[in-house]
Amino acid sequence: MASKIKKGDIVKVIAGKDKEKEGKVLAVNPEKGTVLVEGVNVVTKHTKPNAGNQEGGIVTKEAPIAISNVMYSDKGQAVRIGFAFVDGKKVRINKKTKKVID
């Protein structure tokens, strides 16, 4: 199934501990049904020293969240996305305003 959320979209979290937060999509994993959103679901990870990271220590990074827990954000408001054909091309549209999403 085609994912309605793409890399680079601004999304709003609608469920979970980071509800109501907004962020940019860094990655989408359609096989697992997850997205990586900037500044959302930040976790701390303890790392041992190795060749790539000489010091080790505590690192904070974003963890993936379920794609069903985010919605596309249009001017701060979460909206549904649909598909339509414009000039013979399939494009994403905002279902509320019927405007094309780039």
* Rounded percentage of the chain residues whose pLDDT exceeds 70: 98
CA proximity to 70, closest of 25, 27, 39, 8: 25
Q: What is the mean pLDDT of the chain?
A: 93
> Model confidence at 28, in pLDDT bands (50, 70, 90)?
very high
pLDDT tens column, 36-67: 999 999 999 999 998 887 888 998 999 999 99
Q: State how far the Cα of 60 lies from the Cα of 75, in Å rounded to an integer.
A: 29
> Model confidence at 1, in pLDDT bands (50, 70, 90)?
low
